[in-house]
Amino acid sequence: MKSKSTRNSPDSSTRENGQNNSVLTVRGLRVYFFTEEGVVKAVEGIDLDIKKGETLGLIGESGSGKTVSALSLVQLLPIPPAKIVGGSVFFENTDLLTLSDKKMREIRGGKISMIFQDPMTSLNPLYSVADQIAENLRVHRKMLPDEATKEAIRMMNVVGIPDAERRSIEYPHQFSGGMRQRVMIASALSCLPALLIADEPTTALDVTIQAQVLELIEELKQKYDTAVLYITHNFAVVAEIADRVAVMYAGYIVEEGDVYTIFENPKHPYTIDLLSSIPRVDKKLSHLEVIRGSIPNLITPPEGCRFHPRCKKVMDKCSKVVPERVEINERHFVRCHLY
Ligand code: SF4
């Protein structure tokens, strides 16, 4: 983990009204999927704040709602079956949920860039990789074609694509999975976004390249004050890159705090169990814990606290009442009846 002194200072006094230096302020975001089997309550009222130059790590098991949350921020969910049924998403004081498709397209890929798990879903098979990066530069940074192509090749070099100039005219299918991911990262970073949403961007990469990509994102953040939403299920990556951590479970953010607090003094039983289930070099654990059960079906989620069927500290109230989000310390939030 980075030294605590490099963290952004807390500012809870202005937090709740959104009038702070947050690049992104999400309040009460709820996303459902209306399917033939029933309504999937995928995201149930999440709140998020990311300030300039801050990285928020959003962590949780598969199916917890991390990716759905990210896609709904930039309106990339398939509607229907998805529907945003409540909440607001303020980006630089504009509620993205009220924007037209045209306005949203201007923001996406420019002021807000995204890197997804699967690069093939984002790269167009009919255009060379340099053309795709250059198009972003022409549209969002208003570069002339020659200048944009030069910058695209430079970015390919920056993300470690060997022989970038020669390979710039090749097509996505001529690149390996890891190389395609780097092309997508080059494209996302090339527009110097105010907010970068990265959804498991290094899952397909080996550890050396993963370290280089994390370093790149860190550089971008330092240089341009970029805010980063980094989605992962990997605590090691979060420890490396995040200033703050939000832990997601079954559609709720159950705990949020700075990275030290979450690792050293977690309060929510789910966060505690998660941290006890992974090997850590900084803790002597006699054995690794297993979290019993699995994430619930979100068509018929458990009443009350959605974690209660798996929780070791469950009480009567837990199966009846949904816990509120409470601030137990400055910018340390927990949803649990124990607090
Ligand atoms: Fe466990 Fe109850 Fe807290 Fe949920 S609210 S995490 S069931 S103690």
Q: Is the pLDDT of residue 90 over 50?
A: yes
CB of 336 sitting under 6 A from ligand 1: yes
- Mean pLDDT score across all residues of the chain: 84
How far apart are alpha carbons 122 and 195 in whole angstroms?
Answer: 18
Please list the residues that pair with 22 across neighbouring strands: 51
Ligand 1 pocket, mutate which of 248, 267, 308, 328 (most atoms under 8 A from CB):
308
Which stretch, 13-17, 66-70, 219-223, 235-239, has highest mean pLDDT?
66-70
Ligand 1 pocket, mutate which of 306, 322, 337 (most atoms under 8 A from CB):
337
pLDDT above 90 coverage of the chain, percent: 35
Cα separations (Å) of 333 from 61, 274, 316? 19, 17, 22
pLDDT given for residue 294 in this prediction: 80
CB of 42 sitting under 6 A from ligand 1: no
pLDDT in tens, 216-271: 788 778 877 889 999 988 888 888 889 999 999 999 999 999 999 998 899 999 99
CB of 314 sitting under 6 A from ligand 1: yes
pLDDT given for residue 78 in this prediction: 81
156-163 contacts: CB < 8 A, separation 24 or more?
A: 156/129, 156/130, 156/182, 156/183, 156/186, 158/186, 158/189, 158/216, 159/183, 159/185, 159/186, 159/189, 159/212, 159/213, 159/216, 160/209, 160/212, 161/186
Sign of CA dihedral 58, 63, 69, 72: positive
DSSP state, residue 30? E
DSSP state, residue 162? T
Beta strands in the chain (DSSP E): 22-35, 38-51, 55-59, 82-91, 94-95, 112-115, 195-199, 227-232, 244-249, 252-258, 325-329, 332-335
CB of 310 sitting under 6 A from ligand 1: no
Ligand 1 atom 3 nearest Cα? 336
List all residues 6 or more positions away from 30 whose beta carbon is below 8 Å from its beta carbon: 41, 43, 44, 45, 84, 85, 86, 87
Inter-axis angle of helices 129-140 and 145-158, nearest 10: 120
- Is residue 264 within 8 A of residue 279, CB to CB? The reply is no
pLDDT in tens, 151-174: 999 988 888 888 888 998 999 898
Among 97-106, 149-158, 210-219, 268-277, where is mean pLDDT lowest? 210-219
Q: Is the pLDDT of residue 46 over 70?
A: yes
Q: Which CATH architecture has domain 21-111+191-335?
A: 3-Layer(aba) Sandwich (3.40)
Rounded to the nearest angstrom, the distance between the alpha carbon of 240 and the centre of ligand 1 is 29
Ligand 1 pocket, mutate which of 311, 320, 322, 335 (most atoms under 8 A from CB):
311
The model's confidence at residue 119, banded by pLDDT at 50, 70 and 90, is low
pLDDT given for residue 243 in this prediction: 92
Q: What average pLDDT does range 331-337 have in this prediction?
A: 93
pTM comes to: 0.82
Domain ranges of the chain: 21-111+191-335
Atom of ligand 1 nearest to the CA of 270: 6
Residue 233: exposure state from Cβ atoms within 10 A (0-12, 13-18, ≥19): middle
How far apart are alpha carbons 315 and 141 in whole angstroms?
Answer: 55
The model's confidence at residue 30, banded by pLDDT at 50, 70 and 90, is very high
Q: Is the pLDDT of residue 302 over 80?
A: yes
